[in-house]
A = this chain, B = another copy of it.
Amino acid sequence: MPPETLTPARILETTEDVLRRYGPAKATVVDVARALGVSHGSVYRHFGSKAALREAVTQRWLDQSHTALSAFADAEGPAEPRLREWLAGLFAAKRHKAGDDPELFATYMVLVGENSSVVDRHIETMIEQLARIVSGGVRDGDFLAVDPAPTARAIWDATNRFHDPAYAAEWFRPGIDAAFEAVCDLVLRGLRSA
């Protein structure tokens, strides 16, 4: 069988495996190359440094949330249920990430700490999606005539207990779903035009 082509996507997948296996403190580019059966030079041709590789794998992990949620942001229909679905979708996705594979989640928490500019860009993208929903709600008269960008940021901030990984331990406690619904209700009432 001919060897698979070495694509950035394959390198990033393997990097995730290696990070999970060796932990973020020990994993090296040589480990990634060995797992792929290539020289470390081949990996460096795609990612110029260990830091660039770790940044790219962090970005890829964060991007998984964008893709699923942008469907709610860009769907047709009334803004209020879309906003609620977006917030619930984000909380569910974060909870899955934290609960299904806690070791990988802990690994990414280390990477997230190292790559604050990647995280900042991710948050901006999330807030832009929220702003598109708010904007649609204002246009259709479902929401008050608020300024979408700062309002989107306020929604992001007001719900941060349910998406900031610093709170991951709380996401599995009894009562967390009721707490989430109560915050969503409060936020949505604060947007509603009537």
Contact = CB atoms under 8 A, between A and B. Distances in A.
**Which applies to chain A's interface (DSSP): helix, strand, loop or mixed?**
helix
B154 A186 contact: yes
Given A159-B158, A178-B150, A179-B154, A187 B190 contact: yes
Contacts of A106: none
A96 interface: no
Interface residues of A, number: 23
Copies in the complex: 2
A159 B187 CA distance: 11
Given A144-B189, A190-B190, A183 B166 contact: no
A154 B182 contact: yes
A178 B147 CA distance: 13
A190 B183 CA distance: 10
A18 interface: no
A191 interface: yes
